[in-house]
């Protein structure tokens, strides 16, 4: 057939030399004839592959020969066919995924092979190849129904910018995206970043002026700290909308949407953590203005623990929402927990201690057996509660060491809290003196010692001397003094001890003595 066509076209040329237009027409007719003869030997999968190869190479005339254009007038088939082939290439590249090897295993007796379906409104439009001709080597083309649907499908899924681009940019360059889409993505990221900065700068100025009309500084700090999360949200929304304008393929758009949704969740978590921190700081600042120190420390303890609980819950929930955006990760996690009962038991046992500590932290924040700043004796160490977390408590020991104690210890084991209801504390100093010591003079001396320390180390409430013990040689004097807190009482006791010893040295009959009695009524000897 091809040889006959060549002879028919070349016969007149033997008698007369063809013009350039006639030569070009002869060449086009020959190529079309070769393409038609080759198409008769191709399977549906090969036709689809050859169509995309020709379209990507810019040969839309060859690609148009694989479209059923019988419904078009003869004079419009060349130009209209090239235009439709170009649009069909876009739809196949961006919206449809197929496997040519699967198409190669079609039913030989089938007259129609469906490549896939594209959504058009609420209707799924089939992209199908139809067999034309009879015999063992039929010609496969895209059906007339598919060709008629190209323009409506492109109007819904296509891009007007794409049709204006040169061919070198519309062909695929890497992965499923064309060069124009990669270039557009880079420009989109730069535009989205600049737009997000501009919008957040304008909005922050507006809200900052509004916040100045309020007396509190909380809203001013909120406007300042929320700029970055707001900028991230605007950037992500712009990117998500922009990728749709670039007509990303379904697979690429799905990945972009998953990443954007995850980043949006992360930005919202970021914003919630900022608000939580600001509220905690505001509550602590408000509590610091209270003159009641016990109430102040109670509020700070509740705020510190609850702040950490809220942050932990927000992070856990946010992390779970991020993972739920990716079906692969979600299904893997669910299948692992469903198929491995032993793993579930191990995870439950491992989390038991953490959950116990979490509940213990919540219980301590509510019942408050300890508070930040309390003076305690725990694990035989004396110090102050410096920090309370969800899992441990930091005790600042008197010599500036830090004792880290599991938080459950304060619920399971006894400990001493010297400032549970009040920081005021009594301290004792014991000295040993002779039986002839003047106890009243010792009381006067104690009053003389503590009076200069009023409102410094001594709170002016309790001071006194009592005889609390006797032995065969000495008696025990106990000096009792009070202070506003344990630290001041420690210093006051040391001061009282030093000055009482100095006072005893100055008394002729105050220091302890050893007495002996001689035999035969000899006088007693003192030493």
Q: Residue ranges of the domains in the chain?
A: 19-158, 180-356, 425-506
Band (pLDDT 50/70/90 cuts) for residue 524 is: low
Q: Rounded CA gap, 103 and 144, in Å?
A: 19
Q: Under a CB-based contact definition with an 8 Å cutoff, are residues 61 and 78 in contact?
A: yes
Q: How confident is the model at residue 181 (pLDDT cuts 50, 70, 90)?
A: confident
Residue 77 burial (10 A CB sphere; 0-12, 13-18, 19+):
middle
124 alpha carbon, distance to own chain's centre? 38
Percent of the chain, pLDDT > 70? 76
Q: 11: pLDDT confidence band, cut at 50, 70 and 90?
A: very low
Least confident of 27-31, 310-314, 419-423, 444-448: 27-31
Give the least confident one: 114-128, 158-172, 178-192, 391-405: 158-172
> Which runs of E-coded beta strand occur in 133-261?
139-142, 172-174, 177-178
Instruction: Name the nearest CA neighbour of 64 among 41, 80, 81, 50.
Output: 81
Encoded tokens for 114: 């469906």
Helix (H) or strand (E) holding 341: helix 341-367
Average pLDDT over residues 300-327: 78
Residue 61 pLDDT > 50: yes
Of 411, 412, 410, 392, which Cα lies nearest the Cα of 402? 392
pLDDT reported for residue 334: 47
Is there a contact between 113 and 44 (Cβ–Cβ < 8 Å)?
yes
| Digit-coded pLDDT (tens) for 363-381 | 777 778 888 888 899 998 9
Give the separation between CA 484 and CA 424, rounded to whole angstroms: 4
For 142-175, write each residue's pLDDT tens digit: 888 888 998 898 888 877 777 777 766 666 556 6
Q: What is the pLDDT of residues 455-499, one digit of tens each?
A: 889 998 899 999 999 988 889 999 999 998 888 888 999 999 999
**What was the pLDDT predicted at 257?**
82
Q: Say whether pLDDT at 306 is over 50.
A: yes
Instruction: Please check the confidence at residue 223 and state whether its pLDDT lies above 80.
Output: yes
Residue 447 has pLDDT above 90, yes or no: yes
The DSSP annotation for 18-29 comes to PPHHHHHHHHHH
Instruction: Check: CB of residue 50 under 8 Å from CB of residue 142.
Output: no
Q: What tokens does 488 get? A: 């001041």
Mean pLDDT of the chain: 78
| Element of type H or E holding 220 | helix 218-225
| Average pLDDT of the segment spanning 202-212 | 85
Does residue 517 carry a pLDDT above 90? Answer: no
Residue 129: pLDDT above 70?
Answer: yes
> What are the distances in angstroms from CA 154 to CA 26, 47, 78?
34, 21, 20
**Could you tell me if residue 373 is left (phi over 0), alpha (psi between -120 and 50 degrees) or otherwise beta?**
left
**Least reliable range by pLDDT among 16-20, 96-100, 418-422, 479-483:** 16-20
- Tens digit of each residue's pLDDT (9 = 90 or more) over 66-82: 888 888 888 888 888 88
* Residue 428: strand, helix, or coil: strand
DSSP 393-413: EEEEETTS-EEEEETTHHHHS
**pTM higher than 0.85:** no
Strands (E), 398-461: 402-406, 416-417, 425-433
* pLDDT number for residue 1: 43
Give residue 27's pLDDT. 57
Pick left, alpha or beta for residue 36 (phi over 0 → left; psi -120 to 50 → alpha; otherwise beta): alpha
- Structure tokens, 209: 């002026």
3-state SS class at 233: helix
Query: Do 116 and 105 meet the contact criterion of CB atoms below 8 Å apart?
Result: no
Asked if residue 31 has pLDDT above 60, the reply is no
CATH architecture, domain defined by 425-506? 2-Layer Sandwich (3.30)
Q: How far apart are CA 225 and CA 223, in angstroms?
A: 6
Provide mean pLDDT across the span 199-212: 86
From CA 37, how far away is CA 31, in angstroms rounded? 10
Assess contact for 157 and 149: CB atoms under 8 A.
no
């Amino acid at each position: 057939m091809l040889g006959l066509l060549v002879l028919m076209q070349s016969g007149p040329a033997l008698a007369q030399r063809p013009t350039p237009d006639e030569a070009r027409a002869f060449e086009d007719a020959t190529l079309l004839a070769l393409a038609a003869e080759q198409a008769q030997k191709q399977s549906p999968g090969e036709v689809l592959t050859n169509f995309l190869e020709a379209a990507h190479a810019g040969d839309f005339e060859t690609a148009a020969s694989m479209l059923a254009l019988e419904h078009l007038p003869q004079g419009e088939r060349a130009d209209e066919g090239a235009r439709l082939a170009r649009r069909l290439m876009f739809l196949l590249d961006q919206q449809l995924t197929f496997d040519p090897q699967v198409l190669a295993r079609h039913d030989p007796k089938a007259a129609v092979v469906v490549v896939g379906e594209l959504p058009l409104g609420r209707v799924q439009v089939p992209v199908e190849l139809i067999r034309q001709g009879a015999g063992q080597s039929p010609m496969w083309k895209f059906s007339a129904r598919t060709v008629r649907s190209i323009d409506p499908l492109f109007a819904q899924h296509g891009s007007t910018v794409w049709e204006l681009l040169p061919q070198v940019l519309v062909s695929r360059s890497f992965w499923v995206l064309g060069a124009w889409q990669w270039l557009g993505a880079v420009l989109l990221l730069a535009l989205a970043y600049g737009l997000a900065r501009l919008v957040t700068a304008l909005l922050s100025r507006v809200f900052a002026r509004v916040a100045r009309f309020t007396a509190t500084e909380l809203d001013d700090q909120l406007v300042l700290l929320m700029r970055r999360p707001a900028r991230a949200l605007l950037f992500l929304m712009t990117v998500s909308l922009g990728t749709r304008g670039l007509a990303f393929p379904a697979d690429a758009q799905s990945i972009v949407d998953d990443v954007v949704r995850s980043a949006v969740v992360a930005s919202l978590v970021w914003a919630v953590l900022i608000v939580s921190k600001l509220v905690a700081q505001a509550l602590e600042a408000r509590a610091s203005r209270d003159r009641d120190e016990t109430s102040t420390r109670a509020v700070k303890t509740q705020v510190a623990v609850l702040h950490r609980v809220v942050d932990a819950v927000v992070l856990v929930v946010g992390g779970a929402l991020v993972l739920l955006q990716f079906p692969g990760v979600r299904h893997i996690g669910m299948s692992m927990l469903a198929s491995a009962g032993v793993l579930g038991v191990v995870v439950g046992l491992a989390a038991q201690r953490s959950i116990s500590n979490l509940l213990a932290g919540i219980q301590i924040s509510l019942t408050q057996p300890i508070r930040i700043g309390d003076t305690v004796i725990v694990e035989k160490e004396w110090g102050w509660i410096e920090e309370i977390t969800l899992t441990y408590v930091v005790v600042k020991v008197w010599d500036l060491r830090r004792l880290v104690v599991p938080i459950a210890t304060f619920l399971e084991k006894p400990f001493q809290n010297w400032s549970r209801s009040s920081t005021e504390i009594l301290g004792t100093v014991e000295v040993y003196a002779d039986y002839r010591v003047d106890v009243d003079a010792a009381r006067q001396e104690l009053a003389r010692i503590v009076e200069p320390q009023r409102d410094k180390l001594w709170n002016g409430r309790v001071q006194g001397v009592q005889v609390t013990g006797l032995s065969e040689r000495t008696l025990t004097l106990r000096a009792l003094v009070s202070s506003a807190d344990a630290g001041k009482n420690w210093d006051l006791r040391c001061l009282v001890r030093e000055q009482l010893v100095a006072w005893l040295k100055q008394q002729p009959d105050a220091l302890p003595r050893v007495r002996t009695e001689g035999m035969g009524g000899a006088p007693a000897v003192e030493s």
